[in-house]
A and B are shown apart, each in its own frame.
Chain A
Amino acid sequence: MTSSDPLSVLFAILRRDLILAFRSGGGWFYALFFFAVFTALAAIAFGPSLNALAIAAPATLWLAVALAIQFSASDLFENDLRDGSLRVIASEQTGLMTYWGAKVCVMSLTSVFPMVIASPFFLTMLGLSFTQGLGVSLILLIGVPSLIFIAVLTSALATGLRAGGLLAMVIAVPFSAPVLVFAVSATKALLAGFGIITPESLILGAISLFMAVLTPAFTVAALRVSLE
């Protein structure tokens, strides 16, 4: 009898999904592209004054990131559910928790990581200095995990439903709001010269940890329901 340990299962899923992301029409690129377009649109909407933009920059950045993550998670499970892979994976003992972990890694690598890298450049377009931008991307690293966990959970709840992406968006709002509150205020605190470690950023980190503990079991439960 052969069975696989969770870690190699995780890597197998990760490898497969990365190949798929690169092969099927640049799936890894959409989130970054959305992020860029949103930032540009926001700048156009706010007007060209860099001073005005600098005030709006933290909120603009976090809104762009939150929406991009939510969008790129919307079809995270769709394909595996439709072609039956999810059912086969769920029948393995290593099962769905590992699958959840793999999907979180896929999301982080394909859609979130490029945004974190790109954010200092976009922030200079919003009137911040490049060093400030680097600091902000560190705060992104603290807050973005919670957004990923929320997006993965809501996507699992909406998998296989009509207008699933929109539904996921609607049910994600109450979860994203607290993250945005602390993420934006942590960013503002950083820009005001209080550094990266502030009460706001610590609470933001705590929310990320809390979501890491809270969401996996619920996500797996939701996936089981869609397999029933």
Chain B
Amino acid sequence: MWSRFSNPAKFEAMARVIGPISLGVFLVTATVGLGLGLFYSPQDYQQGDAVRMMYVHVPAAWMAMGAYSFIAVMSLIAFVWRHTLADIAARSAALPGAVFTALALFTGAVWGKPTWGAWWVWDARLTSMLILLFTYFGYMAIWQSVPEQVRAARFARILALVGFINIPIIKFSVEWWNSLHQPASILRADGPTIHPTMLIPLLLMIIAYTALFTWLVVLEMRTSLMRQRIEKRAVRAPSRPVSAGMTDE
């Protein structure tokens, strides 16, 4: 199954399909989701219209984590099966992931102002989101500071994997450190607790963000592969023995 993803030519063919589709899905779901969320969903009885921030904030926070998980999985694949395409996929996800994380922080702050009365509150989830942003920065810094791409990829795999293992510890420690945020309310064993009129636009927005992420990653991967192909032309052929037949007989 991996061969389809590890072969650049096959990936290219697939990307030509996946790219436009995900862009289309993004445009449709984002339009409908935002329309429903901003105009046709009810106000919150406590938060009023401020609750509409949820439709841009929650999916961003979701994708911040999702993108990092994607990076970690790709790094693991690259680590175990040595697929360079997985390295490229991981790197391509870093910038969109960091932007989603920053967006989650920003929308969180804007949402926080009317809800908590302050732009920034050191609550558990905002804080772990901030540390996640630093994790992204570190990951991107590794790619930036190693000149040879293959070496950079190997360092980056290591960092992505340890960083991923570290995430639960961050979550746990930050929650211990401080918790006054509302508990997660979409995925619960006893079913969603928010009303369908709010849930549907929220789910649409999550799909929209995921599609946007997919489109961005595929786009960046194609660019990287193109650059790689151009650079490959400059690579010299490997050297070989000039005098053959090195035996002592």
Residue of B nearest to A162 (CB): B145
Which of A171, A210, A228 is B142 in contact with, Cβ under 8 Å? A171
Residue B170 interfacial (CB < 8 Å): yes
Please provide the chain A residues from 174 to 227 with a CB less than 8 Å away from any CB of chain B in the complex: 174-175, 177-178, 181-182, 185, 203, 207, 210, 214-215, 218, 221-222, 225-226
Interface of B is mostly: helix
Supposing A157-B159, A171-B142, A214-B162 touch, asked if A177 and B137 sit within 8 A by C-beta, the answer is no
Give the distance in Å from the alpha carbon of A20 to the alpha carbon of B21 in the complex: 61
CB-based contact B141/A167 at 8 Å: yes
Give the distance in Å from the alpha carbon of A163 to the alpha carbon of B147 in the complex: 13
Q: Count how many pairs of residues, one from A and one from B, have CB atoms less than 8 Å apart in the complex.
A: 75
CB-based contact B146/A161 at 8 Å: yes
Contact flags (1/0) for B196-223 with A, using CB distance below 8 Å? 0000000000000000000000000000
CB-based contact A221/B145 at 8 Å: no
Chain A: minimal CB distance from B45 (Å): 35
Residue B161 interfacial (CB < 8 Å): yes
Which of B135, B145, B169, B177 is A185 in contact with, Cβ under 8 Å? B177
Supposing A178-B172, A181-B176 touch, asked if A173 and B131 sit within 8 A by C-beta, the answer is yes
Interface of A is mostly: helix
CB-based contact A170/B151 at 8 Å: no
Residue A153 interfacial (CB < 8 Å): yes
Residues of A close to B137: CB separation below 8 A:
170
Give the distance in Å from the alpha carbon of A182 to the alpha carbon of B131 in the complex: 16
CB-based contact A171/B173 at 8 Å: no
Contact flags (1/0) for B115-158 with A, using CB distance below 8 Å? 00000000000000001101101110110011000010011001
CB-based contact B151/A228 at 8 Å: yes
CB-based contact A181/B158 at 8 Å: no
Residue of B nearest to A175 (CB): B166
Which of B138, B142, B145 is A174 in contact with, Cβ under 8 Å? B138
User: Using a CB–CB distance below 8 Å, which chain B residues touch chain A?
Assistant: 131-132, 134-135, 137-139, 141-142, 145-146, 151, 154-155, 158-159, 161-163, 165-166, 169-170, 172-174, 176-177
User: Using a CB–CB distance below 8 Å, which chain A residues touch chain B?
Assistant: 153, 157-158, 161-164, 167, 170-175, 177-178, 181-182, 185, 203, 207, 210, 214-215, 218, 221-222, 225-226, 228
7 sample A-B contacts, Cβ–Cβ < 8 Å, listed by A number: A157-B155, A171-B138, A177-B131, A181-B173, A218-B161, A222-B158, A225-B154
Q: A157-B159, A178-B173, A218-B158 are in contact. List 17 more A-B contacts (CB 8 A).
A: A170-B137, A170-B138, A171-B139, A173-B134, A174-B135, A175-B162, A177-B173, A181-B174, A182-B173, A182-B176, A185-B177, A207-B169, A210-B169, A214-B162, A215-B162, A218-B162, A222-B155
